[in-house]
A and B are shown apart, each in its own frame.
Chain A
Amino acid sequence: MNKTVLDLKYAAAVLAALFFEFFVLPRIQLGFYFSVHVYFYLLIHVSVNIEKHLALLAAFTLGLIVDQGLNTGGLHAASAVTAMYLRPIFIRAFGPREGYGKPDYLTVFKFGFANYLLYILSMVFVHQFVLIVLESFSVAGFTTIVLRVAGGTLATVGLYVALHLLTVRRAPAV
Protein backbone atom coordinates (compact mmCIF):
# COMPACT_ATOMS: atom_id res chain seq x y z
CA MET A 1 0.00 0.00 0.00
CA ASN A 2 1.59 3.31 -0.99
CA LYS A 3 2.00 6.29 1.35
CA THR A 4 -0.69 8.49 -0.24
CA VAL A 5 -3.33 5.85 0.24
CA LEU A 6 -2.25 5.42 3.85
CA ASP A 7 -2.40 9.18 4.48
CA LEU A 8 -5.86 9.37 2.95
CA LYS A 9 -7.00 6.48 5.08
CA TYR A 10 -5.62 8.20 8.15
CA ALA A 11 -7.32 11.51 7.24
CA ALA A 12 -10.59 9.67 6.76
CA ALA A 13 -10.12 8.00 10.12
CA VAL A 14 -9.57 11.39 11.75
CA LEU A 15 -12.77 12.76 10.25
CA ALA A 16 -14.68 9.66 11.29
CA ALA A 17 -13.30 9.92 14.82
CA LEU A 18 -14.27 13.58 15.05
CA PHE A 19 -17.75 12.85 13.76
CA PHE A 20 -18.09 10.08 16.29
CA GLU A 21 -16.70 12.36 19.03
CA PHE A 22 -19.06 15.27 18.32
CA PHE A 23 -22.26 13.57 17.26
CA VAL A 24 -22.36 10.02 18.55
CA LEU A 25 -20.58 9.84 21.91
CA PRO A 26 -22.49 12.78 23.49
CA ARG A 27 -25.71 10.86 22.86
CA ILE A 28 -24.49 7.68 24.51
CA GLN A 29 -25.00 7.68 28.27
CA LEU A 30 -21.97 5.74 29.53
CA GLY A 31 -22.22 7.14 33.04
CA PHE A 32 -20.21 9.55 35.14
CA TYR A 33 -17.36 7.13 35.78
CA PHE A 34 -16.78 6.04 32.17
CA SER A 35 -15.36 8.81 30.05
CA VAL A 36 -14.50 7.51 26.56
CA HIS A 37 -12.96 9.41 23.62
CA VAL A 38 -12.22 7.83 20.26
CA TYR A 39 -9.96 10.50 18.73
CA PHE A 40 -7.13 9.45 21.05
CA TYR A 41 -7.11 6.02 19.38
CA LEU A 42 -5.58 7.66 16.29
CA LEU A 43 -2.84 9.35 18.31
CA ILE A 44 -1.95 6.11 20.06
CA HIS A 45 -1.57 4.33 16.74
CA VAL A 46 0.23 7.04 14.82
CA SER A 47 3.45 6.06 13.02
CA VAL A 48 6.33 5.07 15.29
CA ASN A 49 8.83 7.00 13.20
CA ILE A 50 6.91 10.27 13.12
CA GLU A 51 9.08 13.23 14.08
CA LYS A 52 8.54 13.73 17.81
CA HIS A 53 7.88 17.47 17.65
CA LEU A 54 5.40 16.90 14.86
CA ALA A 55 3.67 14.27 16.99
CA LEU A 56 3.27 16.82 19.79
CA LEU A 57 1.83 19.38 17.37
CA ALA A 58 -0.52 16.78 15.88
CA ALA A 59 -1.77 15.81 19.34
CA PHE A 60 -2.25 19.45 20.27
CA THR A 61 -4.14 20.24 17.05
CA LEU A 62 -6.42 17.23 17.26
CA GLY A 63 -7.05 17.86 20.96
CA LEU A 64 -7.82 21.50 20.29
CA ILE A 65 -10.31 20.61 17.52
CA VAL A 66 -12.07 18.26 19.94
CA ASP A 67 -12.03 20.99 22.59
CA GLN A 68 -13.66 23.49 20.26
CA GLY A 69 -16.31 20.96 19.24
CA LEU A 70 -17.08 19.97 22.83
CA ASN A 71 -16.53 23.47 24.28
CA THR A 72 -13.97 22.26 26.80
CA GLY A 73 -11.32 24.98 26.40
CA GLY A 74 -7.94 23.22 26.22
CA LEU A 75 -8.81 20.11 28.23
CA HIS A 76 -8.26 17.56 25.47
CA ALA A 77 -5.31 19.44 23.99
CA ALA A 78 -3.50 19.37 27.36
CA SER A 79 -4.18 15.67 27.99
CA ALA A 80 -3.37 14.58 24.43
CA VAL A 81 -0.10 16.56 24.39
CA THR A 82 0.96 15.10 27.75
CA ALA A 83 0.27 11.52 26.66
CA MET A 84 2.07 12.13 23.36
CA TYR A 85 5.07 13.61 25.19
CA LEU A 86 5.38 10.40 27.23
CA ARG A 87 4.69 8.10 24.26
CA PRO A 88 8.36 7.39 23.39
CA ILE A 89 8.91 6.08 26.93
CA PHE A 90 6.03 3.61 26.63
CA ILE A 91 7.12 2.55 23.14
CA ARG A 92 10.64 1.89 24.41
CA ALA A 93 9.23 -0.08 27.35
CA PHE A 94 6.68 -2.24 25.49
CA GLY A 95 7.59 -2.03 21.79
CA PRO A 96 9.17 -4.88 19.79
CA ARG A 97 12.96 -5.10 19.92
CA GLU A 98 13.29 -6.24 16.30
CA GLY A 99 11.70 -3.11 14.75
CA TYR A 100 8.32 -2.36 13.14
CA GLY A 101 8.86 -3.14 9.45
CA LYS A 102 6.78 -1.43 6.73
CA PRO A 103 4.34 0.20 7.19
CA ASP A 104 5.46 1.44 10.60
CA TYR A 105 2.02 1.83 12.22
CA LEU A 106 1.55 0.25 15.59
CA THR A 107 -0.41 -2.95 15.59
CA VAL A 108 -1.14 -5.67 18.09
CA PHE A 109 0.65 -8.11 15.81
CA LYS A 110 3.93 -6.23 16.08
CA PHE A 111 3.72 -5.76 19.87
CA GLY A 112 2.21 -9.03 20.93
CA PHE A 113 -1.09 -8.87 22.79
CA ALA A 114 0.26 -8.40 26.32
CA ASN A 115 2.70 -5.62 25.40
CA TYR A 116 0.11 -3.95 23.19
CA LEU A 117 -2.34 -3.99 26.08
CA LEU A 118 0.24 -2.50 28.45
CA TYR A 119 1.13 0.17 25.91
CA ILE A 120 -2.41 1.38 25.32
CA LEU A 121 -3.19 1.02 29.02
CA SER A 122 -0.29 3.38 29.85
CA MET A 123 -1.20 5.89 27.15
CA VAL A 124 -4.91 5.88 27.99
CA PHE A 125 -4.20 6.14 31.70
CA VAL A 126 -2.06 9.28 31.23
CA HIS A 127 -4.67 10.78 28.91
CA GLN A 128 -7.56 10.04 31.29
CA PHE A 129 -5.62 11.15 34.33
CA VAL A 130 -4.73 14.59 32.94
CA LEU A 131 -8.19 14.97 31.45
CA ILE A 132 -10.07 14.24 34.68
CA VAL A 133 -7.68 16.07 37.01
CA LEU A 134 -7.90 19.22 34.88
CA GLU A 135 -11.66 18.84 34.59
CA SER A 136 -12.05 18.47 38.37
CA PHE A 137 -9.39 21.15 38.98
CA SER A 138 -9.30 20.22 42.64
CA VAL A 139 -7.91 17.46 44.82
CA ALA A 140 -10.90 17.69 47.17
CA GLY A 141 -12.74 14.77 45.51
CA PHE A 142 -9.68 12.55 45.26
CA THR A 143 -11.59 9.28 45.51
CA THR A 144 -13.96 10.34 42.75
CA ILE A 145 -11.01 11.32 40.57
CA VAL A 146 -9.35 7.93 41.10
CA LEU A 147 -12.60 6.08 40.33
CA ARG A 148 -13.23 8.15 37.21
CA VAL A 149 -9.67 7.66 35.95
CA ALA A 150 -9.92 3.90 36.57
CA GLY A 151 -13.39 3.61 35.01
CA GLY A 152 -12.52 5.76 31.99
CA THR A 153 -9.22 3.91 31.41
CA LEU A 154 -10.83 0.45 31.52
CA ALA A 155 -13.74 1.42 29.28
CA THR A 156 -11.48 3.18 26.77
CA VAL A 157 -8.93 0.35 26.67
CA GLY A 158 -11.76 -2.15 26.11
CA LEU A 159 -13.14 -0.06 23.26
CA TYR A 160 -9.72 0.50 21.67
CA VAL A 161 -8.75 -3.18 21.79
CA ALA A 162 -12.06 -4.17 20.20
CA LEU A 163 -11.74 -1.44 17.56
CA HIS A 164 -8.18 -2.46 16.82
CA LEU A 165 -8.92 -6.14 16.49
CA LEU A 166 -11.84 -5.35 14.17
CA THR A 167 -9.98 -2.95 11.89
CA VAL A 168 -6.38 -4.15 11.72
CA ARG A 169 -5.17 -7.02 9.65
CA ARG A 170 -1.80 -8.72 9.86
CA ALA A 171 0.48 -6.97 7.40
CA PRO A 172 2.04 -9.16 4.72
CA ALA A 173 5.69 -9.88 5.26
CA VAL A 174 7.91 -7.43 3.39
Chain B
Amino acid sequence: MESLSEFLKRYSRLLLYIFLFSISLWLLILQNRFQRVVVFNWLRSAEWALMERVATLQSYFYLKQHNQALAEENARLRSRLLADRYRLYQGGQLRRDTVLRQVYYYYPAEVIHITTDKQNNYMTLNVGSVQGVRPDMGVVTGDGIAGIVKMVSPRYSVALTLLHSKARIPARIRRSAHFGTLEWTGGSPYRLVLNYVPSHVTYSAGDTVEVAHLSTVFPAGYPVGVITGGSQNAEEGYLSLELRPFVDFHSIRHVYLIDFADRDEVNLLEKQAVGDE
Protein backbone atom coordinates (compact mmCIF):
# COMPACT_ATOMS: atom_id res chain seq x y z
CA MET B 1 0.00 0.00 0.00
CA GLU B 2 2.82 2.32 0.92
CA SER B 3 4.66 1.48 -2.25
CA LEU B 4 1.50 2.23 -4.25
CA SER B 5 1.12 5.66 -2.70
CA GLU B 6 4.85 6.23 -3.21
CA PHE B 7 4.46 5.25 -6.86
CA LEU B 8 1.45 7.55 -7.34
CA LYS B 9 3.27 10.41 -5.66
CA ARG B 10 6.37 9.91 -7.73
CA TYR B 11 4.63 9.54 -11.08
CA SER B 12 1.56 11.70 -10.43
CA ARG B 13 2.58 14.28 -13.04
CA LEU B 14 3.18 11.62 -15.68
CA LEU B 15 -0.13 9.92 -14.83
CA LEU B 16 -1.95 13.26 -15.01
CA TYR B 17 -0.35 13.95 -18.38
CA ILE B 18 -1.37 10.52 -19.72
CA PHE B 19 -4.89 11.05 -18.39
CA LEU B 20 -5.27 14.49 -19.97
CA PHE B 21 -3.69 13.40 -23.24
CA SER B 22 -6.01 10.39 -23.40
CA ILE B 23 -9.06 12.60 -22.88
CA SER B 24 -7.81 14.92 -25.62
CA LEU B 25 -7.27 12.03 -27.97
CA TRP B 26 -10.67 10.59 -27.17
CA LEU B 27 -12.33 13.96 -27.89
CA LEU B 28 -10.35 14.28 -31.10
CA ILE B 29 -11.50 10.87 -32.31
CA LEU B 30 -15.05 11.47 -31.14
CA GLN B 31 -15.49 14.81 -32.86
CA ASN B 32 -13.49 14.36 -36.06
CA ARG B 33 -14.78 12.02 -38.72
CA PHE B 34 -11.41 11.49 -40.43
CA GLN B 35 -9.62 10.47 -37.22
CA ARG B 36 -12.60 8.30 -36.27
CA VAL B 37 -12.46 6.41 -39.58
CA VAL B 38 -8.69 5.94 -39.31
CA VAL B 39 -8.96 4.60 -35.76
CA PHE B 40 -11.88 2.38 -36.68
CA ASN B 41 -9.96 0.89 -39.62
CA TRP B 42 -6.87 0.47 -37.50
CA LEU B 43 -8.82 -1.28 -34.75
CA ARG B 44 -10.47 -3.54 -37.30
CA SER B 45 -7.08 -4.47 -38.81
CA ALA B 46 -5.71 -5.08 -35.33
CA GLU B 47 -8.70 -7.25 -34.50
CA TRP B 48 -8.21 -9.29 -37.68
CA ALA B 49 -4.50 -9.64 -36.99
CA LEU B 50 -5.24 -10.72 -33.43
CA MET B 51 -7.88 -13.21 -34.57
CA GLU B 52 -5.43 -14.60 -37.11
CA ARG B 53 -2.78 -15.02 -34.43
CA VAL B 54 -5.25 -16.64 -32.06
CA ALA B 55 -6.34 -19.02 -34.83
CA THR B 56 -2.70 -19.88 -35.59
CA LEU B 57 -2.05 -20.46 -31.90
CA GLN B 58 -5.15 -22.62 -31.59
CA SER B 59 -4.19 -24.67 -34.63
CA TYR B 60 -0.75 -25.13 -33.06
CA PHE B 61 -2.34 -26.53 -29.91
CA TYR B 62 -4.50 -28.88 -31.99
CA LEU B 63 -1.60 -29.94 -34.20
CA LYS B 64 -1.23 -33.27 -32.44
CA GLN B 65 -4.92 -34.09 -32.87
CA HIS B 66 -4.76 -33.02 -36.53
CA ASN B 67 -1.71 -35.20 -37.09
CA GLN B 68 -3.47 -38.12 -35.42
CA ALA B 69 -6.57 -37.61 -37.55
CA LEU B 70 -4.48 -37.40 -40.73
CA ALA B 71 -2.53 -40.52 -39.80
CA GLU B 72 -5.75 -42.44 -39.19
CA GLU B 73 -7.21 -41.23 -42.47
CA ASN B 74 -3.98 -42.25 -44.25
CA ALA B 75 -4.19 -45.69 -42.64
CA ARG B 76 -7.78 -46.09 -43.86
CA LEU B 77 -6.83 -44.99 -47.38
CA ARG B 78 -3.85 -47.32 -47.46
CA SER B 79 -6.09 -50.17 -46.37
CA ARG B 80 -8.18 -49.53 -49.49
CA LEU B 81 -5.25 -49.84 -51.89
CA LEU B 82 -5.91 -52.47 -54.53
CA ALA B 83 -2.41 -53.87 -53.99
CA ASP B 84 -3.42 -54.86 -50.46
CA ARG B 85 -6.47 -56.86 -51.52
CA TYR B 86 -6.89 -60.27 -53.06
CA ARG B 87 -9.28 -60.88 -55.89
CA LEU B 88 -12.03 -63.31 -54.98
CA TYR B 89 -12.40 -66.51 -56.91
CA GLN B 90 -15.91 -67.75 -57.29
CA GLY B 91 -16.71 -71.03 -58.92
CA GLY B 92 -13.17 -71.36 -60.28
CA GLN B 93 -13.49 -68.07 -62.17
CA LEU B 94 -11.62 -64.88 -61.34
CA ARG B 95 -14.24 -62.23 -60.90
CA ARG B 96 -13.17 -59.14 -62.76
CA ASP B 97 -15.21 -56.68 -60.76
CA THR B 98 -14.71 -54.69 -57.60
CA VAL B 99 -15.32 -57.58 -55.22
CA LEU B 100 -11.95 -57.77 -53.46
CA ARG B 101 -11.05 -59.14 -50.07
CA GLN B 102 -8.84 -57.00 -47.93
CA VAL B 103 -5.77 -58.75 -46.53
CA TYR B 104 -3.55 -55.91 -45.25
CA TYR B 105 -4.76 -53.52 -42.55
CA TYR B 106 -2.90 -50.37 -41.53
CA TYR B 107 -2.70 -48.83 -38.06
CA PRO B 108 -1.11 -45.43 -37.39
CA ALA B 109 1.58 -45.22 -34.70
CA GLU B 110 4.35 -42.97 -33.45
CA VAL B 111 7.93 -43.90 -32.73
CA ILE B 112 8.73 -42.80 -29.18
CA HIS B 113 12.25 -44.21 -29.03
CA ILE B 114 14.71 -45.61 -31.53
CA THR B 115 18.36 -46.64 -31.62
CA THR B 116 20.56 -46.60 -34.71
CA ASP B 117 24.06 -47.02 -33.30
CA LYS B 118 23.85 -50.58 -31.94
CA GLN B 119 24.44 -53.87 -33.68
CA ASN B 120 20.78 -54.70 -33.07
CA ASN B 121 18.53 -51.65 -33.21
CA TYR B 122 14.96 -51.39 -31.99
CA MET B 123 12.18 -48.83 -32.01
CA THR B 124 9.46 -48.42 -29.41
CA LEU B 125 5.98 -47.55 -30.64
CA ASN B 126 3.14 -45.85 -28.75
CA VAL B 127 0.57 -48.56 -29.60
CA GLY B 128 0.08 -52.01 -28.11
CA SER B 129 -2.26 -54.95 -27.89
CA VAL B 130 -5.12 -52.65 -26.78
CA GLN B 131 -4.93 -51.04 -30.23
CA GLY B 132 -4.78 -54.46 -31.92
CA VAL B 133 -1.02 -54.74 -32.39
CA ARG B 134 0.47 -58.25 -32.45
CA PRO B 135 3.97 -59.59 -33.02
CA ASP B 136 5.24 -59.93 -36.60
CA MET B 137 3.27 -56.97 -37.90
CA GLY B 138 5.24 -54.91 -40.41
CA VAL B 139 6.29 -51.33 -39.65
CA VAL B 140 6.38 -48.94 -42.62
CA THR B 141 6.45 -45.22 -43.32
CA GLY B 142 5.13 -43.41 -46.36
CA ASP B 143 8.60 -43.84 -47.90
CA GLY B 144 9.36 -47.49 -47.30
CA ILE B 145 9.59 -50.40 -44.88
CA ALA B 146 11.15 -49.78 -41.46
CA GLY B 147 10.91 -52.90 -39.27
CA ILE B 148 8.92 -55.76 -37.74
CA VAL B 149 7.06 -55.81 -34.42
CA LYS B 150 8.79 -58.10 -31.96
CA MET B 151 7.13 -57.68 -28.57
CA VAL B 152 3.82 -56.20 -27.52
CA SER B 153 2.51 -54.91 -24.18
CA PRO B 154 -1.00 -53.53 -23.66
CA ARG B 155 -0.06 -49.96 -24.64
CA TYR B 156 3.37 -50.19 -26.26
CA SER B 157 5.24 -52.38 -28.68
CA VAL B 158 8.87 -52.84 -29.65
CA ALA B 159 9.91 -53.51 -33.22
CA LEU B 160 13.27 -54.49 -34.59
CA THR B 161 14.32 -52.10 -37.32
CA LEU B 162 15.96 -52.97 -40.63
CA LEU B 163 19.16 -52.06 -38.77
CA HIS B 164 19.15 -55.37 -36.90
CA SER B 165 21.57 -58.23 -37.47
CA LYS B 166 18.69 -60.75 -37.54
CA ALA B 167 16.41 -58.78 -39.84
CA ARG B 168 15.98 -60.80 -43.05
CA ILE B 169 13.44 -59.59 -45.57
CA PRO B 170 12.90 -61.00 -49.05
CA ALA B 171 13.30 -58.14 -51.51
CA ARG B 172 13.60 -57.80 -55.27
CA ILE B 173 14.88 -55.38 -57.89
CA ARG B 174 11.75 -53.71 -59.24
CA ARG B 175 13.04 -53.52 -62.85
CA SER B 176 14.04 -57.17 -63.22
CA ALA B 177 12.01 -58.84 -60.42
CA HIS B 178 15.06 -60.82 -59.30
CA PHE B 179 15.05 -61.21 -55.57
CA GLY B 180 17.48 -61.70 -52.72
CA THR B 181 17.59 -61.27 -48.97
CA LEU B 182 17.78 -57.84 -47.40
CA GLU B 183 20.21 -57.58 -44.49
CA TRP B 184 22.11 -55.03 -42.48
CA THR B 185 25.76 -55.72 -41.87
CA GLY B 186 26.28 -52.96 -39.31
CA GLY B 187 27.90 -49.58 -39.66
CA SER B 188 25.99 -46.81 -41.41
CA PRO B 189 22.20 -46.72 -41.02
CA TYR B 190 22.12 -45.49 -44.63
CA ARG B 191 23.55 -48.71 -46.07
CA LEU B 192 21.69 -52.02 -46.46
CA VAL B 193 22.74 -55.08 -48.43
CA LEU B 194 20.67 -57.21 -50.76
CA ASN B 195 22.40 -60.61 -50.70
CA TYR B 196 21.97 -63.77 -52.74
CA VAL B 197 20.97 -62.04 -55.96
CA PRO B 198 21.79 -64.34 -58.91
CA SER B 199 25.09 -63.32 -60.44
CA HIS B 200 23.73 -63.02 -64.00
CA VAL B 201 21.32 -60.26 -63.01
CA THR B 202 22.05 -56.88 -64.50
CA TYR B 203 21.48 -53.84 -62.35
CA SER B 204 22.38 -50.19 -62.28
CA ALA B 205 22.76 -47.62 -59.57
CA GLY B 206 19.44 -45.94 -58.89
CA ASP B 207 17.34 -49.07 -59.44
CA THR B 208 14.57 -49.39 -56.86
CA VAL B 209 14.44 -52.36 -54.53
CA GLU B 210 11.04 -53.42 -53.17
CA VAL B 211 9.52 -56.11 -50.98
CA ALA B 212 9.29 -59.44 -52.80
CA HIS B 213 6.06 -61.40 -53.10
CA LEU B 214 7.46 -63.98 -50.68
CA SER B 215 6.85 -61.81 -47.61
CA THR B 216 3.85 -62.31 -45.33
CA VAL B 217 4.79 -59.28 -43.27
CA PHE B 218 4.81 -56.53 -45.91
CA PRO B 219 2.69 -56.19 -49.04
CA ALA B 220 4.65 -57.16 -52.15
CA GLY B 221 6.01 -54.16 -54.00
CA TYR B 222 6.42 -51.94 -50.95
CA PRO B 223 9.56 -49.80 -51.54
CA VAL B 224 12.78 -50.51 -49.63
CA GLY B 225 15.54 -48.37 -51.13
CA VAL B 226 17.74 -47.62 -54.16
CA ILE B 227 20.81 -49.49 -55.32
CA THR B 228 24.03 -47.56 -54.84
CA GLY B 229 26.52 -50.23 -55.84
CA GLY B 230 27.28 -53.94 -55.78
CA SER B 231 29.93 -56.63 -55.81
CA GLN B 232 30.28 -60.17 -57.05
CA ASN B 233 30.73 -62.88 -54.41
CA ALA B 234 33.21 -65.07 -56.31
CA GLU B 235 33.09 -68.09 -54.01
CA GLU B 236 29.37 -68.49 -53.69
CA GLY B 237 28.47 -67.13 -57.09
CA TYR B 238 25.94 -64.45 -56.22
CA LEU B 239 25.71 -60.69 -56.15
CA SER B 240 25.71 -58.48 -53.07
CA LEU B 241 24.02 -55.18 -53.82
CA GLU B 242 24.40 -52.17 -51.62
CA LEU B 243 21.38 -49.96 -51.25
CA ARG B 244 20.32 -46.83 -49.49
CA PRO B 245 17.02 -47.28 -47.59
CA PHE B 246 14.18 -44.87 -48.30
CA VAL B 247 13.50 -44.58 -44.57
CA ASP B 248 15.74 -42.24 -42.63
CA PHE B 249 15.96 -43.86 -39.22
CA HIS B 250 17.36 -40.70 -37.68
CA SER B 251 14.21 -38.73 -38.37
CA ILE B 252 11.54 -41.42 -38.34
CA ARG B 253 8.45 -40.51 -36.30
CA HIS B 254 5.09 -41.35 -37.87
CA VAL B 255 4.74 -44.97 -38.97
CA TYR B 256 2.04 -47.47 -39.92
CA LEU B 257 1.75 -51.02 -38.67
CA ILE B 258 0.63 -53.53 -41.26
CA ASP B 259 -1.42 -56.52 -40.26
CA PHE B 260 -1.61 -59.42 -42.71
CA ALA B 261 -5.07 -60.82 -42.05
CA ASP B 262 -4.27 -64.35 -43.26
CA ARG B 263 -1.01 -64.73 -41.38
CA ASP B 264 -2.31 -67.27 -38.83
CA GLU B 265 -3.88 -69.34 -41.56
CA VAL B 266 -0.71 -69.28 -43.67
CA ASN B 267 1.54 -70.06 -40.68
CA LEU B 268 -0.64 -72.97 -39.61
CA LEU B 269 -0.69 -74.37 -43.10
CA GLU B 270 3.09 -74.07 -43.45
CA LYS B 271 3.58 -75.70 -40.03
CA GLN B 272 1.35 -78.61 -41.01
CA ALA B 273 3.22 -79.02 -44.28
CA VAL B 274 6.54 -79.19 -42.45
CA GLY B 275 5.08 -81.59 -39.87
CA ASP B 276 3.85 -83.97 -42.60
CA GLU B 277 7.38 -84.51 -43.91
Contact = CB atoms under 8 A, between A and B. Distances in A.
A17 to B, nearest CB: 19
B17 A73 contact: no
A25 interface: no
Contact of B31 (A57, A71, A81, A85): A71
What bracket does the count of chain A residues touching chain B fall in? 20 to 34
A67 B25 CA distance: 12
Interface in B21-47: 21, 23-32, 34-35, 38
Contacts of A85: 13-14, 17
- B-side interface mostly: helix
A32 interface: no
Contacts of B25: 74, 78, 134
A72 B38 CA distance: 16
B35 A137 contact: yes
B49 interface: no
Interface in A47-87: 52-53, 56-57, 60, 63-64, 67, 71-75, 77-78, 81-82, 85
B32 A77 contact: no
Given A73-B31, A137-B34, 11 more contacts: A53-B16, A60-B20, A72-B31, A73-B30, A74-B25, A78-B24, A85-B14, A134-B28, A137-B35, A137-B38, A138-B38
26 contacts: A53-B16, A56-B13, A56-B16, A56-B17, A56-B20, A57-B20, A63-B24, A67-B27, A71-B31, A72-B28, A72-B31, A72-B32, A73-B29, A74-B24, A74-B25, A75-B24, A75-B28, A75-B32, A78-B21, A78-B25, A78-B28, A81-B24, A85-B14, A85-B17, A134-B28, A134-B35
Interface of B: 12-14, 16-17, 20-21, 23-32, 34-35, 38
